[in-house]
């Protein structure tokens, strides 16, 4: 996959996850609501970095975003997380898992791509 196409796919996944969390934040109060809003803002910022900065750090940020977000969701779907116990039975949950998996895989691909670019000297 070409460099720009990979960046666009990862940025779209980040924005997708951010959009889902922004939608879920509407009406969610307390600490969990604040974390949903923080996730939405973080996804937007990282998506901009992925598109604007040809470096390995945005790839690492996308990977970390995906791992942490998917990890928190996995906790909530299994043992519960901050008083929430999800059941993996709604469209936002399905799309969230898909977009976060793309962030993880795409983040790794961006890191590898930028490492190869750095060793070649391009």
- pLDDT class of 5 with cuts at 50, 70, 90: very high
Nearest Cα residue to 38 out of 11, 65, 57, 13:
65
Q: What are the pLDDT digits (tens) for 39-72?
A: 999 999 999 999 999 889 999 999 999 999 999 8
User: How far is Cα 63 from Cα 69, in angstroms, rounded to an integer?
Assistant: 10
Tokens of 24: 């879920």
What residues contact residue 14 under an 8 Å CB cut-off, 6+ apart?
43, 44, 46, 47, 50, 62, 65, 99, 103
The model scores a pTM over 0.75: yes
């Amino acid at each position: 996959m070409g460099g720009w196409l990979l960046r666009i796919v990862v940025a779209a996944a980040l924005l997708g996850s951010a959009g889902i969390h922004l939608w879920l934040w509407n009406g969610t109060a307390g600490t969990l609501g604040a974390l949903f809003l923080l996730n939405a803002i973080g996804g937007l910022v990282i998506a901009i970095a992925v598109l604007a900065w040809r470096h390995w750090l945005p790839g690492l940020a996308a990977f970390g975003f995906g791992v942490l977000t998917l990890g928190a969701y996995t906790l909530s779907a299994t043992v519960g997380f901050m008083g929430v116990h999800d059941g993996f039975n709604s469209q936002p949950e399905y799309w969230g898992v898909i977009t976060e998996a793309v962030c993880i895989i795409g983040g790794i691909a961006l890191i590898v791509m930028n490492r190869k670019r750095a060793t070649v000297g391009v």
